Structure 1
Amino acid sequence: MRIYRFLSGEDDSAFCHKVTKALSEGWELHGSPTYGFDAISKKMRCGQAVTKIVRDQPYDPDKKLVDY
């Protein structure tokens, strides 16, 4: 089964570390990153989809995706 997560955050090193951590845990980049201006906070925000193949585990909507 392939599971999907969308990571988002302010355009800073913390966001880069979040994506890097996901990659180190076996997640793979899916598509291009997104980038947009948040008019309320007056800051740029980033987003990146990641996917991961998990075997021998049924999908459980109550389970956190990071626990797969």
Structure 2
Amino acid sequence: MKLYRFLTGPDDASFCHKVTAALNQGWSLAGSPTYAFNAEAGVMQCGQAVVKDVHGKDYEPDMKLSEQ
């Protein structure tokens, strides 16, 4: 199965660590990162799509994708 996640966070080191952790868990970048101003919070937000192939499992809607 192929899994998809969209990681988001503030424009700081915590977002870079989140993406780095996903890459080290076997996820791959999918497309370009996004960057936008969150007017409600008053901060810049980052986003990055990641994908991962997992063999021997079937997708189920209730699975926790970050644990695959």
The TM-score, its normalising length taken from structure 1, stands at 0.96
- Residue 32 of structure 1 corresponds to 32
- Residue 55 of structure 1 corresponds to 55
> Is 2:44 the counterpart of 1:44?
yes
Task: State the 1:40 CA deviation.
Answer: 1.0
SS at match of 1:44: strand
Percent identity, please: 57
Task: State the 1:42 CA deviation.
Answer: 1.1
Q: Which 4+ stretches in 1 moved above 2 angstroms?
A: none
Gapped runs of 5+ residues in structure 1?
Answer: none
Q: Which amino acid aligns with 1:64?
A: K
Task: State the 1:41 CA deviation.
Answer: 1.2
- Residue 19 of structure 2 corresponds to 19
- Residue 2 of structure 2 corresponds to 2
Aligned residue pairs: how many?
68
**Aligned counterparts of 1:66 and 1:38: Cα–Cα separation in 2:** 24
Task: State the 1:58 CA deviation.
Answer: 0.6
